[in-house]
């Protein structure tokens, strides 16, 4: 990794621009690898989890909810933010799956962390696959409104490849899980 040190940017100072409930926007002064000054505006985020929940007959637990920033109802896999940077992602995933869909799972597979927008955010999302599902009762937060359905994984793959699923975490999660399951 030493050869990559020549690409590293060095932090000089930070100015807070906005401190919200979920997003924290800062502007950093940095030095580029050639020692020239530059700035970076970035979003600090507590982190999140997402879950590809797969039934015994290879159906996916999917959600449809309105997303205000894009002014659309979006089809997504279950997901949610961490309560803090120190929260165990697996515990957060179990909580979010139960709250949003009513499902619990006996088998959890950690599929790793990805950065949805590393050019301007430090948000890290941990992706899980949940198997051996049990249907229970949804327990949505007071500000959550969503529909849950079971969709064959093959149908979701067709929707992704047709360009009808615009959510990146959903595309990534379903494609990875389909590969793991040999579908």
The whole domain housing 107 covers 48-181
- Across residues 77-84, what is the average pLDDT? 96
Residues 133 and 164 in one domain: yes
Give the residue from 155, 167, 106 showing the smallest Cα distance to 134. Answer: 106
Please provide the size of the chain in residues: 183
Is residue 56 scored above 80 in pLDDT?
yes
* Whether residues 23 and 76 fall in one domain: no
Residues 122 and 173 placed together within one structural domain of the fold: yes
Q: Can you give the CATH number for the domain in which 147 is found?
A: 3.90.79.10
Please tell me whether residues 34 and 63 are part of one structural domain.
Answer: no
String of b and e for 170-182 (b: at least 16 CB within 10 Å)?
Answer: bbbbbebbbeeee
* Confidence tier at 1 by pLDDT (50, 70, 90): low
Task: Count up the domains in the chain and report the number.
Answer: 2
3-state secondary structure of 98: helix
**pLDDT (average), residues 28-51:** 96
């Amino acid at each position: 990794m030493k050869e990559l040190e020549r690409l590293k940017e060095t932090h000089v100072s930070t100015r807070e621009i906005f401190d919200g409930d979920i997003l924290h926007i800062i502007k950093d002064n940095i030095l580029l690898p050639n020692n020239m000054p530059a700035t970076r505006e970035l979003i600090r985020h507590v982190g999140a989890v997402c879950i590809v929940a797969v039934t015994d007959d290879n159906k996916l637990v999917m959600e449809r909810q309105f997303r205000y920033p894009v002014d659309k109802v979006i089809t997504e896999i279950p997901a949610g933010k961490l309560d803090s940077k120190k929260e165990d992602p697996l515990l957060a995933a179990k909580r979010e799956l139960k709250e949003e869909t009513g499902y619990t799972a006996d088998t959890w597979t950690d599929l790793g962390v990805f950065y949805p927008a590393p050019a301007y955010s430090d948000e890290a999302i941990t992706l899980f696959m949940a198997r051996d599902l049990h249907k229970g009762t949804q327990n949505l937060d007071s500000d959550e409104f969503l529909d849950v359905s079971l969709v064959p994984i093959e149908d979701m793959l067709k929707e992704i490849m047709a360009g009808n699923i615009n959510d990146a975490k959903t595309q990534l999660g379903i494609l990875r899980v389909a590969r793991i399951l040999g579908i």
